[in-house]
Amino acid sequence: MPGPVGHRRRRHDADLRLGVTTPAGPDAPGYSHAVPATDSSHGDLAARLAAAQARVAAAARAVDRDPSEVRLLLASKRMPAAVVREAVLAGGTLLGENTVQELAAKAPELADLGAELHLIGHLQSNKVNAALRWADCVQSVDTLALAERLARRCETTDRELDVMVQVNVSGEASKDGVDPEGATDLALAVAALPRLRLTGLMTIGANTDDEALVRVGFGRLRAIRDAVRASGAPGTSTARELSMGMSGDLELAVAEGATMVRIGTAVFGARTS
């Protein structure tokens, strides 16, 4: 599948069909590549990013995994676009936003940098059009109805979309995601849809200090992923990703096979209100 640059081109073409004006790019008159000054509370962002990358690499080596197997996604929730831009320039090119509103607001400010943009928060069906304009991947697909709506809009706008199925492995009511019992069937149904490329599964670990319980949840996600791939069903060969683990439990997630961990304040500092 084409990478982020290809997605950007498809967005531009889709925007023309929808009558949407694309923000000025790096070749537009008066465009500046300069990164706006950021608040001092964000401190040495590059150093914190390097520390986070080192932590992920150490977690991988501790369980005899190649650090290159685990990608670091920067969760930029409530971070100003200028700060996120600074992070991308420092090497954090995989970004995740929790809301479509923030994704749409920041993406134009990052368009010239080639960052890969993921939607990691709940997606309402009425926000599908806006999400498709900017997202390279939607990690939070948790119903077939949502997946079908995404597929239809992708067909209309002549693009493809990477997606993950979000699974609620903890069973906590506060978390989104399909129940583990229905996750395999949902993943198989999503994988069969046109225009969608199932790249894996996503979850949020259990909110507990019991590390064994957290690991059980992460292990369950891995087992579901493995079952999906082992099915040999159409569209499942690309379902490799396990997006799981955050600042408080990333070592446990990496030990259970995470291929993508999500870190926010450990890199960006305190979020704005």
Task: Confirm whether 3 is domain-assigned.
Answer: no
Task: Confirm whether 226 is domain-assigned.
Answer: yes
Tell me the per-residue pLDDT of 174-229, one tens digit each, with 9 for 90 and over.
999 999 999 999 999 999 999 999 999 999 999 999 999 999 999 999 999 999 99
Tell me the per-residue pLDDT of 25-58, one tens digit each, with 9 for 90 and over.
333 333 333 333 344 445 699 999 999 999 999 9
Task: Confirm whether 223 is domain-assigned.
Answer: yes
Q: Tell me, what's the pLDDT at 271?
A: 76
Task: Confirm whether 69 is domain-assigned.
Answer: yes
Tokens of 261: 């961990």
Task: Confirm whether 116 is domain-assigned.
Answer: yes
Helix axes 81-89, 45-62, angle to 10 degrees: 60
Domain hosting 188: range is 43-265
Question: 153 phi and psi, to 5 degrees?
Answer: -70, -35
| 269 pLDDT tier (thresholds 50, 70, 90) | confident
Q: Is 14 exposed, middle or buried (0-12, 13-18, 19+ CB in 10 A)?
A: buried
Task: Confirm whether 26 is domain-assigned.
Answer: no
Domain count, the chain: 1
Query: What's the chain's average pLDDT?
Result: 88
Q: Tell me, what's the pLDDT at 272?
A: 67
CATH code at position 254: 3.20.20.10
N-to-C CA span, the chain = 37
Tell me the per-residue pLDDT of 140-189, one tens digit each, with 9 for 90 and over.
999 999 999 999 999 999 999 999 999 999 999 999 999 999 999 999 99
pTM: 0.84
Task: Confirm whether 4 is domain-assigned.
Answer: no
Question: Rounded CA gap, 204 and 137, in Å?
Answer: 17
The three-class DSSP label of residue 119 is: strand
Task: Confirm whether 36 is domain-assigned.
Answer: no
Can you say how many angstroms the Cα of residue 188 is from the centroid of all Cα atoms in its chain?
20
